[in-house]
Amino acid sequence: MSNQSNNAPPSSVTDAVLLPSEPVPEGTHRVSGVDFEKFNGRDITAAEMVDNMKNMGFQSSAVADAARIINEMRAYRHPETGDKTTIFLGYTSNLISSGLRDTIRYLVRHRHVSAIVTTAGGVEEDLIKCLAPTYMGSFTAPGAGLRAKGLNRIGNLIVPNSNYCAFEDWLIPILDKLLEEQEVANKKAQKTGNEEDELHWTPSRIIERLGREINHEDSVLYWAAKNNIPIFCPALTDGSLGDMLYFHTFRSSPKRLRVDIVDDLRRINTMAVRAARAGMIILGGGLIKHHIANACLMRNGAEHAVYINTAQEFDGSDAGARPDEAVSWGKIKADGQSVKVYAEATVVFPLIVAATFARAGQPQSPDGETQKEMQN
């Protein structure tokens, strides 16, 4: 027996471990990351950071991919009409409670998005913040102690109960006006026999009115109303707004404010159907995610989709579903560009906005002008 053969590992092992590689396909990128040496003692910009995350792997590559897809949405022009991508932005309520509201307001103020879908808290917290601030707190502040002090916790944010009292004082007289306008219009319709004279409040029309009434430059709703960007909220009653609407039924009895959700459904679906191209940017999951995707089903799928959320798909939830599940339903086109970023939105969305809409040298729409209506 030779020593050499005794010392060599078994060929079955070397064959398994050192399996020869085929060459990687041409154009495959090497893994690389942010090399701070290259910035030579100056601060790196957020946009540069995202650019340099492209080949880092894991979720940093997904963040850079999201920026790439959004820049593609923004660059598109229809070859004949010059129409741009209709961008649907969705966000959960807590994101308006957080400081991400300021980033969202920037997008709306400069007309970077065409329509918004949010939940009730995403509407009311924007208005309430114009009346009184939301404060930083702690995830670990005990609930019983906060309750005794009249403080409400959203993650590590604190909203005093007095904010909601201020909201009630502000909102109830406006609900009175909406009801009065509804009653006057409907009486007129009865007289004229013309259905067109009827007034049907919808969530988006109420939200637009609230944006005008708050008349405050800090507000997302204010800029959306000014720029004719509809904010859809089919579940408008699931928040403090619902509490106020409930209280208002007693105050206004036997009259009742009526809110038509079907009119809004028609409005958002029509926007999707008529869009030259549709892009979805969806922060969080649940209603806001599905409502936008379902509108895009009406056009046989969006061309672009960026999902940013923390939800997982193993439970079969819509919140956690990857874009490919939406492809199976016809909500994203089979050849569409899409990415899911598995991340907490307040961390990554400002970075993505810095690398896209807010990038230096990018045209910014002047604020306060109305845009073409394409919704009816």
Ligand X SMILES: NC(=O)c1ccc[n+]([C@@H]2O[C@H](COP(=O)([O-])OP(=O)(O)OC[C@H]3O[C@@H](n4cnc5c(N)ncnc54)[C@H](O)[C@@H]3O)[C@@H](O)[C@H]2O)c1
Smallest gap from Cβ 53 to ligand X, in A, equals 18
Find the farthest-apart pair of alpha carbons in the chain and give their distance in angstroms, rounded.
Answer: 112
Binds ligand X by CB under 6 A, chosen from 94, 114, 134, 227: 94
Ranges of H-type helices in 76-99:
93-97
Smallest gap from Cβ 370 to ligand X, in A, equals 28
61 conformational bin, left if phi > 0, alpha if psi -120 to 50, beta if neither: alpha
Smallest gap from Cβ 30 to ligand X, in A, equals 30
Contacts 24+ apart (CB under 8 A), 242-250: 242/120, 244/167, 244/168, 244/171, 244/172, 244/175, 245/175, 247/168, 247/172, 248/172, 248/175, 248/176, 248/179
Binds ligand X by CB under 6 A, chosen from 60, 85, 86, 92: 92
Q: Which stretch binds ligand X (CB under 6 A): 43-51, 114-122, 131-139, 223-231?
A: 114-122
Q: Which stretch binds ligand X (CB under 6 A): 2-10, 39-47, 182-190, 280-288?
A: 280-288
Task: Please identify which residue in the block is written with the tokens 């028609």.
Answer: 266
Residue at 67: amino acid letter? A
Task: Write out the binding residues for ligand X, residues 134-193 only, by CB under 6 A.
Answer: 154
Nearer to ligand X (CB atom), residue 162 or residue 370: 162
Binds ligand X by CB under 6 A, chosen from 285, 301, 323, 336: 285
Torsion, Cα of 226, 218, 284, 156 (10° steps): -170
Q: Which stretch binds ligand X (CB under 6 A): 37-45, 161-169, 303-311, 326-334?
A: 303-311
CB atoms within 10 A of CB 240: 20
CB atoms within 10 A of CB 107: 22
Binds ligand X by CB under 6 A, chosen from 125, 208, 264, 303: 125
CB atoms within 10 A of CB 237: 15
* Residue least distant from ligand X (Cβ): 121
CA–CA separation, 207 and 225 (whole Å): 8
Binds ligand X by CB under 6 A, chosen from 300, 310, 362, 364: 310
Smallest gap from Cβ 330 to ligand X, in A, equals 23
Binds ligand X by CB under 6 A, chosen from 69, 73, 104, 120: 120
Binds ligand X by CB under 6 A, chosen from 60, 93, 202, 338: 93
Binds ligand X by CB under 6 A, chosen from 163, 202, 219, 309: 309
Q: Which stretch binds ligand X (CB under 6 A): 15-23, 94-102, 131-139, 329-337?
A: 94-102
Task: Please identify which residue in the block is written with the tokens 């049907």.
Answer: 200
Task: Write out the binding residues for ligand X, residues 231-260 only, by CB under 6 A.
Answer: 235, 238-239
CA–CA separation, 337 and 123 (whole Å): 30
Q: Is residue 318 a contact point for ligand X (CB under 6 A)?
A: no
Q: Give the interface size with ligand X as a residue count (CB under 6 A).
A: 24
CB of 302 closer than 8 Å to CB of 329: no
Q: What is the DSSP letter of 322?
A: -
Q: Is residue 203 a contact point for ligand X (CB under 6 A)?
A: no
CA–CA separation, 7 and 10 (whole Å): 9
Does the annotation mark 188 as catalytic? no
Active-site pick, 129, 331, 333, 340 = 331
* Interface with ligand X (CB under 6 A): 92-95, 97, 119-121, 125, 154, 235, 238-239, 284-287, 309-311, 319, 344-346
